[in-house]
Amino acid sequence: MTATRPVVLPNPERTSFGPVLVLESLTVPAFRGFFENLGVGGVQISTDGRFLQVNQRFIELTGYPREQLLQMRVGDLDHPDDREPDRVRWDAFLNAGADYDVEKRYVRRDGSTIWVHVTAARIPMGDDEMTIAKTVEDITDRVVAVNSLREREQRLREALAVKEEFLGMVSHELRTPLTVILGLANVVARNGSSPAQVQRTVLEIRESAEHLASLLESMLVLARVGEEAPELEPILLDRVARRAIERHREVFPRRKVSLKVSTTTPLVDGHEPWIVQVIANMLGNAEKYTPAKGRIIVLVGRDGEDVCLRVLDEGRGIAAEDQPRIFEAFYRAAHAVKESGGLGLGLAVCKRLIDLQGGQVWASTREEGGAEFGFSLPALDADD
Ligand code: ADP
C-alpha cells in the first residue's frame, strides 16, 4: 500500500482547512491511527472522483466493505435525487474554487437512506497536483428531528388557521340570532304594538333564542371529550319522534312531515334529551336542504337487533365526495357553504351522541333522490 503523502504537507499555504501546519513529527502509523479512529467519516479522493482512502467510520456509515468502496466513485453513494445538484456543487468546488459544505443523502449498501453533512478540502500534493479530503458526518437524527419539528409547526399553523376560521364562523353564527333577538326585543319594548303583535314577536324571539341555545349546546357537546352517557333508560322511539315532529311543525308549519312506524317494539335504551336533539338536528337539515315543496318522512322500524329511525327528504342528496366526511365536525359541502348558514356541527353532534349510547349513524342518497339520514340503537325487547 502506498504511504499517504498528505501527512507532511509541502507548504503552509491556506487550504479550506485553514493554515496548514507542517506536522513533521506525525508519523504515518500515527496519522493512520488518527484517520481510522476519527468520529466522523473521512475519505481521500482523487480529482477524478475515485476513493483513495476511506476510514472505519465511513465504512460503517455506508455499509460497504473497504475494497468495494475503493472501486467506487464519489457520486455513487448519492441519493438519485441529490446527484445532479451535487454534481454542480462538486464542479464549482473543483474548478472554480468554491467551498464544498453540503447536506445531502447517501444510499447505504442495504438500500436505506441516511443524511450526511459533507465538507471537502483541497490537499496540495506538489507539482500542481492535489487530492481531496472529505469529512462525512451522519446527521440523520438531526434531520429527522428537524423535519418532525417542521411538520409539527405546519400542523400547528393549520390548526391555528382552522381555529381562526372557526372563531370567525362562530361569531357570525352567534351574532345572527342575537341581532334578531335584540331587534325584536326593541320592537316589543316600544309601546304601541297590539297584544297579538307582541305575542308573535315574542314567539320569534323564542325561536332565535332556541337557535342560539342549540348552537351553544352543539359546541359544548363536541368540546366535552371523554364524556360518558348518563344512566340510559327505556325509551319509545316512536313517541320521541312524534314529539320532535310536532315541535318541527310549530316552527315550520308549511312543511309536510309524516311519521311511519313499522314495528310494535320501538323500545330502546337511551338518553331522551340526546335522542330528541339528534332527531331535531336531522329534521332541521332535511328542512334546510329540501326545497319548499319537498316532503319529509320519518320512519321508525326494527332492523334485526336494533330499532332504526330514518329521516328521508326530497332535497339534493349527498354528493359522493361529501359522503365520507359528512359527520366530521365543521365539514360542510361546497353547496351548503354557498347557499345556507351553518357551522357543520349538527351531524357531528348526532354522531357523538349516538356513539355514546352504543348506536350507529348513517347518511345516504336515496334512489328516488333526496337524502336519508338515520341512526340505530339496540332494541330493548319486552322480555329483556
Ligand atoms: P350544517 O348544516 O351546519 O352545514 P351539519 O353537520 O348538520 O352542518 O351538516 C353537514 C353537511 O352535511 C351540510 O353542510 C350539508 O352539506 C350536508 N347535509 C346535511 N344534511 C343534509 C341533507 N338532508 N341533505 C343534503 N345534504 C345534507
231 Cα to the center of ligand 1, angstroms: 30
Which residues share a beta bridge with 268? Answer: 235, 379
Give the residue extent of every domain in the chain.
Answer: 5-138, 142-223, 228-384
> What's the confidence (pLDDT) of residue 156?
93
Q: Which letter does DSSP use for residue 184 in this model?
A: H
203 vs 8, higher pLDDT: 203
Instruction: Report helix, strand or coil for 330.
Output: coil
Rounded to 10 degrees, the C-alpha dihedral 149/154/158/160 comes to 60
Which residues share a beta bridge with 372? Answer: 312, 364
Averaged pLDDT score across all residues of the chain: 88
Pick the CATH number of 228-384 from 3.30.565.10, 3.40.640.10, 3.20.20.70, 3.40.80.10: 3.30.565.10
317 half-sphere exposure, CB direction, 13 A CA radius: 10
Indicate the pLDDT class of residue 23, thresholds 50, 70 and 90: low
The pairing of strands 51-54 and 100-107 is unpaired
316 Cα to the center of ligand 1, angstroms: 11
What are 146-182's pLDDT values in tens digits? Answer: 999 999 999 999 988 878 877 887 888 889 889 999 9
> What's the confidence (pLDDT) of residue 143?
95
Ligand 1, from 222, 285, 368: best to mutate by most atoms within 8 Å of Cβ?
285
Backbone angles phi, psi at 161, to 5 degrees: -65, -40
The sign of the dihedral angle between the CA atoms of 121, 18, 39, 44 is positive
Pairwise CA distance, residues 378 & 268, whole Å: 6
Pairwise CA distance, residues 296 & 281, whole Å: 13
> What's the confidence (pLDDT) of residue 226?
67
At residue 6, does pLDDT exceed 70? no
Percent of the chain with pLDDT over 90: 64
Residues with CB under 6 A from ligand 1: 285-286, 289, 313, 315-316, 318, 322, 326, 331-333, 336, 342-348, 371, 373
Work out which ligand 1 atom sits closest to the CA atom of 311.
Answer: 23
Indicate the pLDDT class of residue 63, thresholds 50, 70 and 90: very high
Pairwise CA distance, residues 205 & 203, whole Å: 5
Task: Give the closest residue to 5 by CA, choosing from 241, 285, 364, 23.
Answer: 23
> What's the confidence (pLDDT) of residue 74?
84
336 Cα to the center of ligand 1, angstroms: 7
Asked if 55 contacts 35 with a C-beta cutoff of 8 angstroms, the reply is yes
Asked if 289 contacts 365 with a C-beta cutoff of 8 angstroms, the reply is no
Ligand 1, from 297, 298, 332, 350: best to mutate by most atoms within 8 Å of Cβ?
332
At residue 1, does pLDDT exceed 50? no
286 Cα to the center of ligand 1, angstroms: 8
> What's the confidence (pLDDT) of residue 127?
75
Asked if 363 contacts 347 with a C-beta cutoff of 8 angstroms, the reply is yes
333 Cα to the center of ligand 1, angstroms: 7
> What's the confidence (pLDDT) of residue 225?
63
Determine what percent of the chain falls in helix, strand and coil, rounding each to the nearest 5.
Answer: 45, 25, 30
Q: 142-223 domain in CATH 1.10.150.120?
A: no
88 half-sphere exposure, CB direction, 13 A CA radius: 3
Ligand 1 atom 20 nearest Cα: 285
Q: Side chain identity at 123, as an amino acid letter?
A: I
Least confident of 83-87, 239-243, 289-293, 379-383: 379-383
Pairwise CA distance, residues 261 & 237, whole Å: 9
Percent of the chain with pLDDT over 70: 92
Burial of 40 (0-12, 13-18, 19+ CB in 10 A): middle
353 Cα to the center of ligand 1, angstroms: 17
Ligand 1 atom 1 nearest Cα: 344
347 Cα to the center of ligand 1, angstroms: 7
- CATH code: domain 5-138 is 3.30.450.20
* DSSP symbols for 225-261: TT------EEEEHHHHHHHHHHHHHHH-TTS-EEEEE
Work out which ligand 1 atom sits closest to the CA atom of 345.
Answer: 6
| Residue 231: alpha-carbon gap to chain centroid | 35
> What's the confidence (pLDDT) of residue 5?
39
Pairwise CA distance, residues 342 & 336, whole Å: 8
124 vs 310, higher pLDDT: 310
Least confident of 10-19, 48-57, 115-124, 269-278: 10-19
Asked if 56 contacts 36 with a C-beta cutoff of 8 angstroms, the reply is yes
Backbone angles phi, psi at 262, to 5 degrees: -120, 30
Least confident of 256-260, 262-266, 338-342: 338-342
**b/e 229-253 (16+ beta carbons within 10 angstroms → b):** eeebeebbbbebbeebbeebeebee
Report the run of H or E that residue 56 belongs to, with start and end.
helix 56-62
285 Cα to the center of ligand 1, angstroms: 6
Task: Write out the three cell numbers for 335.
Answer: 353547496
At residue 2, does pLDDT exceed 60? no
Task: Give the closest residue to 234 by CA, choosing from 58, 120, 147, 357.
Answer: 357
> What's the confidence (pLDDT) of residue 165?
79
At residue 360, does pLDDT exceed 80? yes
Task: Give the closest residue to 272 by CA, choosing from 264, 280, 263.
Answer: 280
Pairwise CA distance, residues 8 & 37, whole Å: 19
Domains 5-138 and 228-384 share a fold: no
